[in-house]
A and B are shown apart, each in its own frame.
Chain A
Amino acid sequence: MNTQDNLDPIVLALVQNRLDHISRQMGWVMTRTARSPIFSQSHDFSCFISDPDGTLVSQADGIPIHTGGGGFAVRALLRDFAGDIDDGDVFILNDPYTAGGNHLPDWVIARPVFVVDQLVAFACNRAHQADIGGGAAGTYNSEAKEIFHEGIRLPVMKLAAKGETRQDIWRLLMINTRTAEALDGDLRAMIGSTKIGADRIAGLVEELGIELYRDYFEGILEHADRSFRRCVSDMADGDYLGEEAIDNDCFEPVDDAIRVRLGVQGDALAVDFTGTAPQVRGFKNSSVANTWSAVYMALASYFDPDLPRNEGTFRCVTITAPEGTIINAKPPAAMTMNTVFVAHEIVHAIWKALNKAVPERSCAGWAKAVHGTTSGRLGEESPFVMYHWNSAPGGGAVDGRDGFNQIGHLIALGGLVLPNVETYEQLYPVLFKRQEFRTDAAGPGAYRGGTGCDFEVEVKVAADYAFRGEGLYNPSCFGAAGGDAGMVGEMELSHSSGERENPPKYAVRHYDALTLRAASPGGGGWGQPKQRDPARVLRDVRDGVVSIEAAESVYGVILDGDGRSVDEDATAILRAG
């Protein structure tokens, strides 16, 4: 069917713009009204609009790893509350097993939108809460083995019925968090944002007419469908394989992998994870919603940045995710970490397969983060949770661009604002010693990976440490088109006793004051290192991020004696050899 034929193309464009504007507007309200900085600092939320059947029609604002995943939540709501959805209701949920959640810390608020007694849409957001109980402050319990260790589970529930907030439910939520004030404020921000969104959506539907608006929503989905099918049909028919190793289960080493087969046939794409490792003991297991989002994010980020990111875009994609694997775990597997790891691994596996299908768009891997959190108390009161974001790793290169030297998670495509050292020294009992690019850590390539950084901070008080160092000790990225992986990440703790230790990748520990040193891993390079523009190699050497030895041995570039220019002749001879 092609609805578009009956539609006014001008109105269709206006509706697309308006829906995207409304979902962005919900985002402004969220950031302006939230209490905890997590919404605005790391923008760890998304706002979306679905049609009355739970199909996402707009998600203009949001963290990439939420792409297209909200529909699972709305469809769970429709399943549980069919026939019992009223104007003024507000639904809440988080459970990844029963309620279409992605992981427990991300709570969804969904508000049905009514026009003349007819359900026409849902205005929703999904946002990471500051604390939801569970085994560790700040939602990440690195030692969780079951979902029960990770915080409160919420099935689909009515948080408000016909405009009346259910105080019993509200009290239940507030006693299940360590930071009730933040949760109270953030939930109000989410609810307020969906109210504004719902009013705007209702206005739009009234303007379009109750008989016609669904055709326009469908027109938008069909436009997105056509847009992405063009990308798929540009790939040659065939199967493309990708695999990303998993070297730990959060407790001990394992040797396993995420395996994906991309099957391209015409303008249809099959994404098949058959052969992927079984679910693991630790909290890296993925839910259906998170895995689907990771797949969508990997695909959308590979092609045009302007692709719509509603569910229409992915109509031509079918996903096979065997149950009981790390990308579709069975209860009661723990899964809070999944939006970062194993999502990062899923994106890597798919990018590796796409690199075979569309080499000219190939992407090198982004190194995985090594940072965890330090939490404790300032004086008598004020609990604090400090993320060591300043030790961010290096990103991967693409044709025409080096990797970002120090950048947020791949699953947010860098959508994280790193803190200023000065701000952190005001907020937390710490003194920073160093935060500088590494030398010879970037994955070599015609475009090199990000350098990663050398990071050192003194923590002046006794505190709890939740380690989540997926990027430590083993390579965590890959090169593309002839480029290589970057250097591995390292971490070392220096205790006041003079004793030193390398912490495990995942653990929860308590220590007295100490100094934490990290070398975050370098990102993957793109293209043959010996084809890197010698001027860029010269600049890297002068900048101290590539040594003069590596310039010669890795890049085949020889500098003049003063190190300020390229010895063109010697370089040509070396590169020819």
Chain B
Amino acid sequence: MVTAPTATAQPIPPWRIGVDVGGTFTDMVLRDQTGGLWVFKAPSVPSDPSQGVMAVLQRAAKSLDMALSDLLGNCALFFHGSTVATNTILEKKGATVGLLTTTGFRDSLEVRRGIRENMWDHRAPFPDVIVPRYLRQPVGGRLDKDGDELEALDLGDVDKAMTLFADEGVEAIAVALLNSYGNPKHEDAVAEHMAGHLADHPADSSWVSLSSRIAPIMGEYERTSTAVINAYIAPKVVGYLRNLDSHLRDNGLARPILLLQSNGGAVSVEQVAERPVNLVLSGPAAGVGALGLYSRCAGSDNLIAMEIGGTSCDVTLMGEGEVSVTDELMIDGYHLATPSVDIHTVGAGGGTIAHADDAGLLHVGPQGAGATPGPACYGLGGEQPTVTDAYMVLGRLRPGPYAGGSVTLDDNLARRAIEEKIAKPLGIAVEEAAAGIIRLLEQNLLHAVEHISIQRGHNPQRFTLVAAGGAGPMHGATVARALGCRQAYVPRQAGAFCALGMLHTDIRQDYLAVHFDNLDTVAEEALQMGFAPLEERAGAALAAEGFNGDAAVVHRELDLRYRGQLWSIRVQLPSGAFDPMAVREAFDADHQRQYGHTQPGGTIEITALRVTARGLIETSDPSVTASAYKAPDPTAVRPVYMDSNHGWQDTPIYAGADLQPGFAEDGPMLVEELTTTVFVGPRDRLIVDNSDNFMIEIDGAGD
């Protein structure tokens, strides 16, 4: 499965490998020293994801005609995005957790601050609490808001709890004491005291999770919830990753594997072992690396990625070269305060189901048909019409083998499902119904992109839309037009967006300390004292990963807000002497963009100090020069439905491999790639750029 026309038959060592374990497929991308790319796929094995990883590596080795030990031995960097943390939560297969909390406050985990995701759906219960109340045990002792001790810690309570936990088969412990974000000493003392009890357990960082270590933020609910989820997944996730790492190294890999974290950066197994909760967004966060790559290819710092798979669409925004990282993440209803890429996900993908309600209105999503039964046209028993069925009816997909032959598409089944469930109830023709499904889906995609851009104060018209994922290239041009963007960018490896993104991912760790002060009056020494321990940890972490000198970049940031506000904005501090006026200007500018106003001369409070540590991975991107180039012939011409204005048109179908840099043709056309199909409407123009990706110029036809 060699896909890149720039690649020679054999990769030139050393190379990088990225493996992304998805729900259905495990994707692997190999990038050699010259920038040549090879993409491989193997079925995922949900019960033991490492089997899927080994299978795709075996498949690659075989296809490249080399031994596994050569494939791994010549690999300089091995990146891994894994759903193991996510799936442990989704499948409720984590450890039995005991929680130690301050006496009088053991219920915040279960109260969940009362947050109802959909208040109208009041019959829906909250997700099951991870630690039942009888395993949430009180510990006497109290710190005040400044971290000063009001009441001494009662270690006798810890002893009592440990006895109970032993009786109850507790496998991991979380400790979350009130106000410990400001002073970890009580939590540290609890951990030290517990060490005596833990003689039976091998020294293992997965055993105890301290909230002040895992997520030292203010706010006991979110901090507790994060520490608890960490404890819940740690034994399983850390065990899995250590096994995989040692297995790969036994097979020739020289350097420890790098894992994709929720913050979009990579980290080694040993460094993440204390905080596996940081891996929850492991797969999708790799989109950050992909955006970095495509921003260089497309020559734009402002990108919005729309990665559309079978059931959902992940939207990520890069503004001026930065993808924002927040402390808020929700997974299956559980709140986490871990550094996480800001991704907006909606239920809109190729398998999304369309239905007409009892009162005669058409809806598309958010439910999906999943891998089984899947769309009706898969012939696996699915009867609900999906977006993929609409593609079939409109001629955008052809009947026959699909997705590397794993399914066979049947257009009669697609047609029947849409006719029965949509066209007849609404009294319209089946093609109209199919076109309507696509229109509604594209409207949902448009709304999702508007959500992440407008809500955060960005004008989407200034962005290039990157359409990725298996289903993204089918909709990129339409959504870009509706947004008012001039271009849609379609990566040739659209279906391996995240695996490819991993190869372009820097090492990254984030550190935070809550710190209250006034921006105008804060002493520089106080800031220095606050930042020093964070920077020390950051530097040590980078050095341990092998990054020093220019390749180790450490930034300071402040969380700032006007007095009286509840939310803060992160502002990066320039290196050199601390200049509060410059910081104020930067804060005001960002506040203006995000909130539409500033408070000239308003008091600005510091609420936290942050340090981000990056180990820079070399990113030379290959590019080819377009040569004099004769457009290839289409492989077929068939009628395809465009839109309500243009109806059906005879449309040339191109094989993706035939299209090389320099290709430029007006739509309409379809380009069939291995992992995706690109749709180009009659008003648009498709160009293959110098980095061998597709650029669709909106309304560019005839130029």
> Contacts A413-B120, A420-B220 known; A17 to B444 CB distance under 8 Å?
yes
Could you tell me if B439 and A400 are in contact, using CB atoms closer than 8 angstroms?
no
In whole angstroms, how far apart are the Cα atoms of A426 and B515 in the complex? 12
**Is the CB of A421 closer than 8 A to any CB of chain B?**
yes
Q: List the A residue with the shortest CB-CB distance to B118.
A: A305
Besides A10-B428, A305-B122, A422-B220, 7 new A-B residue pairs in contact (Cβ under 8 A), listed by A number:
A29-B596, A64-B120, A392-B114, A401-B123, A401-B124, A420-B113, A433-B104
**Is the CB of A192 closer than 8 A to any CB of chain B?**
yes
* B459 proximity list for chain A (CB < 8 A): none
Per-position binary interface string of chain A over residues 36-55, scored 1 when its CB falls under 8 Å from any chain B CB and 0 otherwise: 01001100000000000000
* A496 proximity list for chain B (CB < 8 A): none
Could you tell me if B125 and A402 are in contact, using CB atoms closer than 8 angstroms?
yes
Could you tell me if B124 and A434 are in contact, using CB atoms closer than 8 angstroms?
no
**Is the CB of A388 closer than 8 A to any CB of chain B?**
no
Could you tell me if A543 and B132 are in contact, using CB atoms closer than 8 angstroms?
yes
Q: List the A residue with the shortest CB-CB distance to B168.
A: A564
Q: List the B residue with the shortest CB-CB distance to A414.
A: B116
Residue among A13, A185, A404, A419 having the largest count of chain B Cβ atoms under 10 Å: A13
In whole angstroms, how far apart are the Cα atoms of A220 and B181 in the complex? 51
Per-position binary interface string of chain A over residues 516-559, scored 1 when its CB falls under 8 Å from any chain B CB and 0 otherwise: 00000000000000000000000100111100000000000000
Per-position binary interface string of chain A over residues 189-232, scored 1 when its CB falls under 8 Å from any chain B CB and 0 otherwise: 10010000000000000000000000000000001101100100
Per-position binary interface string of chain B over residues 420-464, scored 1 when its CB falls under 8 Å from any chain A CB and 0 otherwise: 000000111000110110011001100100110011010000000
Query: Which segment, of B74-82, B311-319, B354-362, faces chain A?
Result: B354-362
In whole angstroms, how far apart are the Cα atoms of A382 and B220 in the complex? 25
* A10 proximity list for chain B (CB < 8 A): 362, 426, 428, 432-433, 435-436, 439-440
In-complex Cβ contact of A422 among B114, B118, B119, B181 (8 A): B181
* A64 proximity list for chain B (CB < 8 A): 119-120
- 15 inter-chain pairs at a CB distance below 8 angstroms, sorted by A residue, are A9-B360, A9-B426, A9-B428, A10-B435, A13-B436, A40-B567, A64-B119, A305-B121, A400-B123, A406-B111, A422-B178, A431-B144, A432-B105, A434-B105, A544-B133
Q: List the A residue with the shortest CB-CB distance to B105.
A: A435
In-complex Cβ contact of A230 among B144, B179, B358 (8 A): B358
In whole angstroms, how far apart are the Cα atoms of A406 and B104 in the complex? 15
Interface size classification for chain A: 35 or more
Could you tell me if A223 and B359 are in contact, using CB atoms closer than 8 angstroms?
yes
**Is the CB of B597 closer than 8 A to any CB of chain A?**
yes
* A404 proximity list for chain B (CB < 8 A): 114, 126
* A167 proximity list for chain B (CB < 8 A): none
**Is the CB of B542 closer than 8 A to any CB of chain A?**
no
Could you tell me if B360 and A223 are in contact, using CB atoms closer than 8 angstroms?
yes
**Is the CB of B218 closer than 8 A to any CB of chain A?**
yes
**Is the CB of A437 closer than 8 A to any CB of chain B?**
yes
In-complex Cβ contact of B107 among A185, A416, A453 (8 A): A453
* B359 proximity list for chain A (CB < 8 A): 223-224, 226-227, 230
Chain A stretch 1-35: residues in CB contact (< 8 A) with chain B: 4, 9-10, 12-14, 16-18, 21, 25, 28-29, 32-33, 35
Interface residues of A, Cβ cutoff 8 Å to B = 4, 9-10, 12-14, 16-18, 21, 25, 28-29, 32-33, 35, 37, 40-41, 64, 185, 188-189, 192, 223-224, 226-227, 230, 300-301, 305-306, 392, 395, 398, 400-402, 404-408, 412-423, 425-426, 431-437, 453, 456, 539, 542-545
**Is the CB of B152 closer than 8 A to any CB of chain A?**
no
In-complex Cβ contact of B145 among A415, A422, A544 (8 A): A422
* B120 proximity list for chain A (CB < 8 A): 64, 300-301, 305-306, 413
In-complex Cβ contact of A40 among B125, B440, B566 (8 A): B566
* A16 proximity list for chain B (CB < 8 A): 361
Could you tell me if B597 and A418 are in contact, using CB atoms closer than 8 angstroms?
no
Chain B stretch 357-381: residues in CB contact (< 8 A) with chain A: 357-363
Could you tell me if B113 and A436 are in contact, using CB atoms closer than 8 angstroms?
no
* A18 proximity list for chain B (CB < 8 A): 443
**Is the CB of B402 closer than 8 A to any CB of chain A?**
no
**Is the CB of B627 closer than 8 A to any CB of chain A?**
no
> Contacts A25-B450, A400-B123, A414-B122 known; A542 to B132 CB distance under 8 Å?
yes
Chain B stretch 501-544: residues in CB contact (< 8 A) with chain A: 516
Could you tell me if B133 and A545 are in contact, using CB atoms closer than 8 angstroms?
yes
In whole angstroms, how far apart are the Cα atoms of A407 and B125 in the complex? 12
Q: How distant is B36 from chain A, measured CB to nearest CB, in Å?
A: 44
In whole angstroms, how far apart are the Cα atoms of A544 and B135 in the complex? 11
**Is the CB of B412 closer than 8 A to any CB of chain A?**
no
Could you tell me if A416 and B114 are in contact, using CB atoms closer than 8 angstroms?
yes
* B121 proximity list for chain A (CB < 8 A): 305
Could you tell me if B451 and A28 are in contact, using CB atoms closer than 8 angstroms?
yes
Could you tell me if A17 and B443 are in contact, using CB atoms closer than 8 angstroms?
yes
* B133 proximity list for chain A (CB < 8 A): 437, 542-545
Could you tell me if B114 and A226 are in contact, using CB atoms closer than 8 angstroms?
no
Kindly list the 6 A-B residue pairs having the minimum CB-CB distance in the complex, ordered from nearest. Answer: A10-B436, A543-B133, A434-B104, A226-B359, A305-B121, A415-B119
Could you tell me if B179 and A422 are in contact, using CB atoms closer than 8 angstroms?
yes
**Is the CB of B629 closer than 8 A to any CB of chain A?**
no
**Is the CB of B219 closer than 8 A to any CB of chain A?**
yes
**Is the CB of B635 closer than 8 A to any CB of chain A?**
no
* A426 proximity list for chain B (CB < 8 A): 145, 218, 516
Could you tell me if B219 and A544 are in contact, using CB atoms closer than 8 angstroms?
no
* A185 proximity list for chain B (CB < 8 A): 597
Per-position binary interface string of chain B over residues 324-361, scored 1 when its CB falls under 8 Å from any chain A CB and 0 otherwise: 00000000000000000000000000000000011111
* B426 proximity list for chain A (CB < 8 A): 9-10
In-complex Cβ contact of B113 among A226, A305, A418, A542 (8 A): A418
In whole angstroms, how far apart are the Cα atoms of A467 and B276 in the complex? 46
Could you tell me if B439 and A14 are in contact, using CB atoms closer than 8 angstroms?
yes
> Contacts A9-B428, A226-B359 known; A32 to B443 CB distance under 8 Å?
no
Q: How distant is B535 from chain A, measured CB to nearest CB, in Å?
A: 25
**Is the CB of B40 closer than 8 A to any CB of chain A?**
no
* B595 proximity list for chain A (CB < 8 A): 32-33
Q: How distant is B589 from chain A, measured CB to nearest CB, in Å?
A: 16
* A423 proximity list for chain B (CB < 8 A): 218-219, 566
Could you tell me if B436 and A9 are in contact, using CB atoms closer than 8 angstroms?
yes
* B145 proximity list for chain A (CB < 8 A): 422, 425-426
Could you tell me if B116 and A425 are in contact, using CB atoms closer than 8 angstroms?
no
Q: List the A residue with the shortest CB-CB distance to B442.
A: A14
> Contacts A37-B565, A406-B114, A423-B218 known; A413 to B436 CB distance under 8 Å?
no
Q: How distant is A128 from chain B, measured CB to nearest CB, in Å?
A: 16
In-complex Cβ contact of B440 among A14, A223, A400 (8 A): A14
In whole angstroms, how far apart are the Cα atoms of A544 and B164 in the complex? 15
**Is the CB of B672 closer than 8 A to any CB of chain A?**
no
Q: How distant is B183 from chain A, measured CB to nearest CB, in Å?
A: 12
* B15 proximity list for chain A (CB < 8 A): none
> Contacts A17-B447, A413-B122, A418-B114 known; A12 to B361 CB distance under 8 Å?
yes
